[in-house]
Amino acid sequence: MNNNELLYTKRMKVAELLSSDMSLLSILQRLDIRLGFGEATVSELCSRYGISDELFLMICNIYSFSDYMPHINALSSNDIRSITTYLRASHRFYTGVCFPTIHEAIHRLVEELDEVSRKLIDKFYDDYDSEIIKHFRYEEEVVFPYIEELLEAADPAEREYSIRQFEENHSNINEKLNDLKNIITKYLDESYSSPLRFELLQNIYNVESDLKKHSLIENKLLIPLVEKLEKGHE
């Protein structure tokens, strides 16, 4: 796909956009866009909510098209707040909806398992849960406040932190999910409940896919924009 090709356009009606991919409802929710927008186009809706057309379309393209790769040429520092708002909302979505759903499915599954398998799955999920909460907390308590301070300061004080440190320590939060997925798919005895395993795997695949897009927004949009902002303060 040509990176300059927007598969969704500003002139599209939002209802048409959702009809093409209903998973985009989640994006509207995370951007705090309310339903009931009638025949509004993407451009009209973005204007109503103070979000740039370009950023909104980039996020939608990221979620709908696996080979789409965004770039920041059409964005500015004004878009950074919208991106961090979106990422914060994603954290709430994961911790309030996705992970509790997975945890509940795991709890029901392990009740059927032998002790060794039960402990193995519990450990993998507990390790993952601890790692991703630590990852989100770092972003919420260090990265986002730093970005907000940078946005607000015309002449910021000497900084000991930079977005490069976040980039260098940006862990692969999907690695342990993949390990858990492999255990459930390949190594549990086939006598254990297939319906529960299929349900759990579907939930894991869904959150894994969403997290990859979450990371893409951080790596390809947030970090480059903040790097440009930092250079403007040098």
- Write out the DSSP string of 218-233: IIIIIHHHHHHHHHHT
Is pLDDT larger for residue 33 or for residue 3? 33
* Number of Cβ within a 10 Å radius of residue 78: 12
The average confidence (pLDDT) of the chain is: 87
**Is the distance from CB of 77 to CB of 85 less than 8 angstroms?**
no
% residues pLDDT > 90 (the chain): 54
pLDDT of 194: 76
pLDDT of 3: 46
What tokens were used for 174?
């999907």
On the question of pLDDT at 110 being above 90, the answer is no
* pLDDT tens-digit readout, 61-96: 999 998 899 989 989 999 999 999 999 999 999 999
- Write out the DSSP string of 54-109: HHHHHHHHHHH-TT----STT--GGGHHHHHHHHHHHHHHIIIIIHHHHHHHHHHH
Q: Give the separation between CA 196 and CA 194, rounded to whole angstroms.
A: 5
pLDDT of 156: 54
pLDDT of 175: 77
pLDDT of 114: 84
Is pLDDT larger for residue 165 or for residue 143? 143
